[in-house]
Each structure stands twice: as structure tokens, then as C-alpha cells.
Amino acid sequence: MKTPFAITLDAGSSLLNKTGSWRTERPVYLDRLPPCNHACPAGENIQQWLYLTEEGRYEQAWRQIMDDNPFPAVMGRVCYHPCEVSCNRGQLDEPVGINAVERFLGDQALINEWHMEAGAPTGKQVMVVGAGPGGLAAAYHLRRMGHEVTVYDASPQAGGMVRYGIPKYRMPREKLRAEVARIEQMGADLQLNTRIDDVIAARDEGKFDAVFLSIGAQLPKRVDIKINGELPVLDAVTVLRNTELEEPTGLRGQVVVYGGGNTAMDVARSAVRLGAKSATVVVFEAREHMPAHEFEVKEACEEGVELICLRAIREVNGNEVTLEKMVPSEGRWPQPTGQFDTITADVVVQALGQNVHTDLVETISGIKIAEGAVQVGIDMQTGSPGIFAGGDMIPSERTVTTSIGHGKKAARNIDAYLRGIPYDAAEKHELITFDMLNTWYYSDAPRTVRPMLSVMRRQSGFAEIVGNIDQDNATFEARRCMSCGNCFECDNCYGVCPDNAVTKLGPGMRFEFKYDYCKGCGLCVSECPCGAIKMTPEEI
């Protein structure tokens, strides 16, 4: 080749110069564990289903939930959403309304009649005792794995505490019924009105290969109150159950509820709806230390429920209830003061928590019970081989979502047990924290507020009080997700690389580094909004 004047070498491309050799650290793409997923007791991949919702792929989003949790419509109503509490967006403006989106997806599934299929039959049979959220979740997952499942429950309807403990105004029954029916359609056999008194005999008679116990905690805790006179003293479990069965509840006149938890709120709020003259909750703790969730207390007060905090009920004389004033202390519990006052009541309801009915398991050899709860290993198996347990009957948070998580975990371990192989849970990714994000790239967007029923209507009936968000709002809310720790293909790394050392692989395929040219400046890591890249030292 003839070169022009003053040029003695042929021109070449800079691509010959492999600047990757400058590098001492290399960027690598990774998936980190978003705090919502980490906090979800049912182990949902929330970040992923929000991503699918954002794209308008509702059915896929719903199926993503269904991989872990068969009750999106129930969850979207009764879950206390620890995901939102831990949401990184809460440190930027407000958490993503995950619960509202879950409800939207759950309801979409019911409207469109989306179904799940059972797995290929394995020939194995599993007995589940208790048709509450834990037992039903286990049954659902076992059906997906192809095992035959029979669920026994003493009550006339499935749902456990979701039905007999959570009032209708929070959990409309048709939604629960529809989600249970979907599990039945997958071939789970529900035997209601059937109390199991002898687990071993029932297992042997039915030729079951494994057992999952999930009978909950239904025995009301009571404190002894000295009663002079005829004032009825009821317990919350029975009152709520009778409310559900539309039997007389005994809630009338001036109702006094004793307890500071969510159940106490449920009773007081039900009393308002049933036409009680007043509903007063006597709380042992200070207002800010009440175990009930803040929104429950707030809503109860809106509906006219009255709170009297830092009081203990000491005795009842006729219609007069004597309360002792308590003072907060350094320790766990408030201390008595010796000062008293009184209120009047027509009925007192104790809502002080529940214990596990351990009679069922006490006779089974090998099962260990400690502090009123059944002890299980990390595989959810009790001391009796092949008998697994979960839900409120084992030491736990005692929420619906926790039970559903237990059901899933138990199903996976039962499956491994039936196949005779150890269950290996997938290793968890590193948790992503707020400081690993670059929030500059997220647009300012306030949270969508869910519509609420007017107080008047809330006081007069059991209609659902929290309204739906519509499709636009659901998509908007899902878009507020920052996709913590998981690439959403924003192109920032591809954009900010001064060395053009990032290859874009196309939609859904993410990116790849050109390590021949990457100088290791780390700009991609700094400017990745969601913390899905990290620098790792080169081996030199």
C-alpha cells in the first residue's frame, strides 16, 4: 500500500490496544437479594412480580407469586406486609404499595379464572391436618409436586383463622373461597367437619406416606379476673368464630375488650359493626408499645373504638370493671401503681393471645413440645419421622403469611423426604441495602393511596373497608419499585462507560463486559441505580 506523504505506518484501530490490562479490579454483574424478598415470610420474589406488573404482564406476575404463595387475593388483604416496612424506597420517599399490587393481581386471577396445574403423579400420599393457610399452602405445593393430598379440618369451612379469626371487613369470604377452590381444582381432597384425634391411626388407616400438621393456636389465653356478679367474660377466639358462623356473639351494650393486639382490635371493631353501644379496649401496654399494628389501631379509633392504655383489669363488681393504673418500666412489662379507677361494662372479652392445643400431638412418640409449641427441625420435621409441622403451632411470628411460608417449606421438605433425597435450599444472594443504590435515577413519585370506605359505612356493616387500586395505579405503583439488586436494563452501565466496554445483549438478555477494554474505573458500579454490579479484585 502506498502511504501518503509523511506517513510511514498504516493506520490501525485503537482496538489493537487492549486496555483491559490496566485493570486491578473488574466489574461483575450480579443479582442481590432485595429487602422485600428477604422480609417476605412466604419467600415471594416480590421484585420480580413487580417488574412483570410494570410491564403489564399480569398473568406472569401472578404466576410468579403463585410459585411461592397460593393466596395472592388473601395476602393482598390480610398480610401485614413486612416487605413494605423493609422497602428501600421508604428511605427515599415512601415504600412501594406492594400489598395493593398483590391484591390487584390476586383479584385479576379470580376475574380471569387463571388456574394452576398439578404436577405429574408420584403415587405418594400426604395427610394434612388443618385447613388453615399453612395446611392449604402445603397441600397446594404438594399437588404441584404431584403428590396426592388429603386435608382434614374440624370446621365446616376451610381457611382456618383467615376465616374464623379475621373479620369479613378485612377479608371478604368470596375471595378466600375462590382461592381455596383453586387448590381443590388441582386435586387436593378437602375433608371438612372431620376432626383428627389420633394422627398415627389416621395416617396408617389412610396409608399416607407423610403428614403435615398445621392445627394453629386456638386455645384462648385467659387471666383470672375476680368476678362478683353475672357479667359475662368471653374470649376473642370464640367471639370471632361465632361472628363468622353468624351465631350469637354476646357482644352488646358496653363492650370492654382486654388486650392490645390485632385480635383485640378485631373484636372491638366487630362489636361496633354489630351495634354495640360502645367498644372500649383496655390495653396493658403504653399506646406506643401496643402489639397491634398501627394502621389497625388507627382504623379502630376512626370507627369509634376507645382505647384505655396502661391499665390492668383487676376485678369486676356487677357492671363495674376495676382497672389498676400501670406505669412503664425499664423492663419488658409495665408495673402496677396501686391506683385504681373503674369503667362500666355489659360484657368483657379477653383477647390476650392463644395457645396451641397440644393434646393431638402429645401422644405421638418422639414429638417434642416446649413452651407450649411443637418443636421442629430446620426441615420442619418433628421428632417423629415423616411427621412435619408448621404454622402457629410451632414457634413463630404467628401471621398468615408466616404460616403460608411454613406450608411451602414443609412441602419442599416433605417432597425431599418422599423421594429419599436431602432438600437443598438454594443459596441466598447477598442482601442489598439502601446505600448500595444510586437513587438519582429514580423519578420522584409519591405512593398511591388506596381508597377507604367511609367511617359511617364501616360502623354499620362488615363490607370490605380497603378498596381496590385500578390497573393504572397498579402499574404506576409497580413502576415505583427500584428493582433493588436486580438489573432492569436501564442502560446506565452501557451509557456511562468511557471505554465503550459494555455490550448490550438485547431485551431480557442484560449486558456483558468487554474485559479486553474495561479499565476498571468503576463508573458503571457507581451509576448503576439498583446495585446490580460490583467490583471484585483481579487476580494478579
Partner 1 sequence: MDRSNSLDSGHRACQGCGEALGARFAIDAAMRATNNQLIAANATGCLEVFTTPYPETAWSVPWIHSLFGNAAAVGAGIAAALRAKGREDVRVIAQGGDGGTTDIGFGCLSGMFDRNDDVLYICYNNEAYMNTGVQRSSATPGAARTATTMPVGKDPGNVFNTGKSVPLIAMAHLVPYVATASVHDLHDLEHKVTKAMGIHGARYIELFVPCPLGWGSKPSDTVKIARLAVECGLYPLIEAEHGELAGVTKIRRQTPVEEYLKLQRRFAHVLKPANVHQLEQLQAIADRNIKKFSLIEEQGGQE
Residues that bind partner 1 (CB under 8 A): 7, 9-19, 22, 440, 491, 495-501, 504, 514, 516-517, 519-523, 525-527
Closest CB to partner 1 among residues 329, 443 = 443
Type of residue found at 19? T
For 11, residues 6+ apart whose C-beta sits below 8 A from its C-beta are none
The rounded distance, in Å, linking the Cα atoms of 127 and 40 is 27
Closest CB to partner 1 among residues 302, 499 = 499
Closest CB to partner 1 among residues 369, 445 = 445
Rounded least distance, CB 515 to partner 1, Å: 11
Type of residue found at 43? G
Cell 379475621 belongs to which residue?
Answer: 166
The rounded distance, in Å, linking the Cα atoms of 377 and 367 is 11
Closest CB to partner 1 among residues 3, 471 = 3
Closest CB to partner 1 among residues 422, 507 = 507
Closest CB to partner 1 among residues 356, 497 = 497
Pairing of strands 369-370, 278-283: unpaired
The rounded distance, in Å, linking the Cα atoms of 145 and 135 is 15
Closest CB to partner 1 among residues 221, 534 = 534
Give the three cell numbers for residue 433.
Answer: 441495602
Rounded least distance, CB 320 to partner 1, Å: 50
Rounded least distance, CB 450 to partner 1, Å: 24
Rounded least distance, CB 525 to partner 1, Å: 6
Rounded least distance, CB 10 to partner 1, Å: 6
For 356, residues 6+ apart whose C-beta sits below 8 A from its C-beta are 215, 216, 217, 218, 219, 372, 373, 374, 392, 393
Rounded least distance, CB 526 to partner 1, Å: 5
Beta-ladder partners of 210: 126
Beta-ladder partners of 409: none
Rounded least distance, CB 443 to partner 1, Å: 10
List, in sequence order, every beta strand (DSSP E) within 153-250: 189-191, 210-213, 219-220, 226-228, 233-235
Rounded least distance, CB 528 to partner 1, Å: 11
Distances (CA, A) of 358 to 198, 240, 267, 369, 406: 12, 22, 25, 8, 19
Furthest-apart CA atoms within the chain: distance in Å: 118
Classify 68 as helix, strand or coil. coil
Closest CB to partner 1 among residues 229, 507 = 507
